[in-house]
Amino acid sequence: MKILTTRMEAHPSDSHTMERYLATDGYVAARTALTSMTPAAVHEEVKASNLRGRGGAGFPCGVKWGFLPPDTRPRYLVVNGDESEPGTFKDRQLLERDPHQLIEGIIIAAYAIDCHRAFIYIRGEYPKPARRVEQALAEAYAAGYLGRDIFGSGFDLELTLHLGAGAYICGEETALLNSLEGKRGEPRIKPPFPAVEGLYGKPTIVNNVETLSNMPWIVTNGGAAYAALGPEGSAGTRLFSLSGHVRKPGNYEIVMGMTFGEFIEQHGGGVREGREVKCFIPGGASAPWFTGDQLDIPITIDDVGKAGSMLGSGAIVVMDETTNVVAAAHSIVSFFAHESCGQCTPCREGTSWLEMVLARILRGEGRAVDLDLLLDVSDNIAPGLGWPPKMTTICPLGPSAVSPVTSILRHFRDEVAAMIPAEVPVA
């Protein structure tokens, strides 16, 4: 069962064009919603679908829309296409291969929440996906599916493409809003949440690209049909990005519920050169790692949560037994140190310390105290080192940097310790 990737699989040569989109029932759902359903009825279908946000936090989409204060206007809809979580490349495919599916989803969502001004924020490093969206926007405006009086329904919607410029943190919704307002992309303290006080201080819904790409199907088939797919709490299909030491990396759309082991075998063709899984990241660089012994965990939001990690952005990174786990953790920690916006001390200082200590272990200059030092610094960023992490910072970036560190020290402590040279006694 596939929803998001049906068109691009059936029509690889032109799935991104208006012509193909219309020939495959494109914009029928938006027309139906705008001309024969009330906004409240569309919202009800989305609530009934149990669709949870696909950006990382997994918050129920229909519930989020319900947080909008009833009487304040204007409202804004902002599409988060700032996909930057290491391991994640699914939104890139949706933007590049089926941009009209997203635009139709935006029209439906905007109608449901009574919003007439929407923005798509795409990361700056995605010029090709942005070009495809830009082209699709021009086609949609020319066809009258955007602009004034769409489908003769009286509903107006302006949709603007905005390009980021290289900052992971802008994937955090309040940082994204600051960026869109022309400020540095620094996260805001919540509450107030964007639904109450978002873009330009007005009620704003921020939804991920994949989340909104599901809207046409939900309107066409009904929320209940969507909710019926997959186990409870993980409704619908989901596009997972599989990378690392597998034979066939790629994006694979599945109904959730199969185990990680099955997914890696069936879709990824197993581990390269017949090797074993040493460890894997179940949900992007921010997620704590699982080991090769945990491949039987089912891919559902709740099962992964119970096992101490998260499905996050849907990025699965597989590492085989040749992997130097300290080097892998160092890569991820360096990422967070580089991307820390610098507002909060535990994150700004802590990520740099973690990076420095891991780097010296890698160089063979580690000290016996370093293992405890890594845990101590981590504890200062996310006290107690539990999951989900306790926050000392405005946003979850800092605590995310702790995930790879606690992962290697929990699962591979002996291996890390073995990289530290014996202390030479002072003569």
Partner 1 sequence: MAEWSSSSRVDKIIASYPDRKSAVMPLLYLAMAEHGYLPDRAIREVAELVGMTPVQVSAVATFYTMYKREETGRYLLSVCTSISCAVLGAADVLHAVEDATGVPAGETDAERVFSVEHVECIGACGGAPAIQVNYELVEGVGVEKARELVQWLRDGEPQVVNGDEMQALFGGQRSFDWGPAETAGAGGPVPALESLGTVGEAG
How far is the first Cα of the chain from the last one, in angstroms, to the nearest whole number?
Answer: 70
- How far does Cα 223 stand from its chain's mean position? 22
Residue 37: partners with Cβ closer than 8 Å, 6 or more residues away: 219
In the complex, the smallest distance separating the C-beta of residue 38 from partner 1, rounded to whole angstroms, is 27
Q: For residues 299 and 337, which CB has a smaller minimum distance to partner 1 in the complex? A: 337
* Structural Rg of the chain based on CA atoms: 22
Q: Record the tokens describing residue 64, joined without a space.
A: 């989020």
Residues 287 and 403 sit within 8 Å (Cβ to Cβ): yes
Which residues contribute to the site for partner 1 (CB under 8 A)? 8, 12-16, 83-89, 91-93, 96-97, 117, 123-128, 130-131, 134-135, 160-168, 179-185, 200, 241-245, 249-251, 281, 285, 315, 317, 319, 323, 327-328, 331-332, 334-335, 338-339, 341
In the complex, the smallest distance separating the C-beta of residue 31 from partner 1, rounded to whole angstroms, is 26
In the complex, the smallest distance separating the C-beta of residue 228 from partner 1, rounded to whole angstroms, is 28
Geometric angle at alpha carbon 57, from 56 and 60, rounded to 5°: 115
Q: How many residues does the chain have?
A: 427
Beta carbons within 10 angstroms of residue 381's beta carbon: 29
In the complex, the smallest distance separating the C-beta of residue 8 from partner 1, rounded to whole angstroms, is 7
Q: For residues 85 and 104, which CB has a smaller minimum distance to partner 1 in the complex? A: 85
- The helix/strand/coil state of 208 is strand
Q: Record the tokens describing residue 121, joined without a space.
A: 């924020």
DSSP annotation of 24? T
Tell me the C-alpha distance between 70 and 388, whole Å.
Answer: 32
Tell me the C-alpha distance between 199 and 195, whole Å.
Answer: 9
Q: For residues 33 and 103, which CB has a smaller minimum distance to partner 1 in the complex? A: 103
Residue 380: partners with Cβ closer than 8 Å, 6 or more residues away: 346, 350, 392
In the complex, the smallest distance separating the C-beta of residue 337 from partner 1, rounded to whole angstroms, is 10
Tell me the C-alpha distance between 68 and 91, whole Å.
Answer: 26
Q: For residues 179 and 393, which CB has a smaller minimum distance to partner 1 in the complex? A: 179
Q: Record the tokens describing residue 392, joined without a space.
A: 């000392």
| Residue matched to tokens 């955007």 | 146
Q: For residues 50 and 88, which CB has a smaller minimum distance to partner 1 in the complex? A: 88
In the complex, the smallest distance separating the C-beta of residue 264 from partner 1, rounded to whole angstroms, is 14
In the complex, the smallest distance separating the C-beta of residue 249 from partner 1, rounded to whole angstroms, is 4
Q: Helical H runs in 98-164?
A: 99-112, 127-143
Q: For residues 95 and 108, which CB has a smaller minimum distance to partner 1 in the complex? A: 95
For residue 75, which amino acid is it?
R
In the complex, the smallest distance separating the C-beta of residue 106 from partner 1, rounded to whole angstroms, is 16
In the complex, the smallest distance separating the C-beta of residue 177 from partner 1, rounded to whole angstroms, is 10
Geometric angle at alpha carbon 210, from 85 and 127, rounded to 5°: 65
Q: For residues 235 and 325, which CB has a smaller minimum distance to partner 1 in the complex? A: 325
Q: For residues 325 and 385, which CB has a smaller minimum distance to partner 1 in the complex? A: 325
In the complex, the smallest distance separating the C-beta of residue 161 from partner 1, rounded to whole angstroms, is 7
Q: Record the tokens describing residue 394, joined without a space.
A: 């405005």
Q: For residues 248 and 306, which CB has a smaller minimum distance to partner 1 in the complex? A: 248
Q: For residues 28 and 356, which CB has a smaller minimum distance to partner 1 in the complex? A: 356
Number of H helices, E strands in the chain: 19, 10
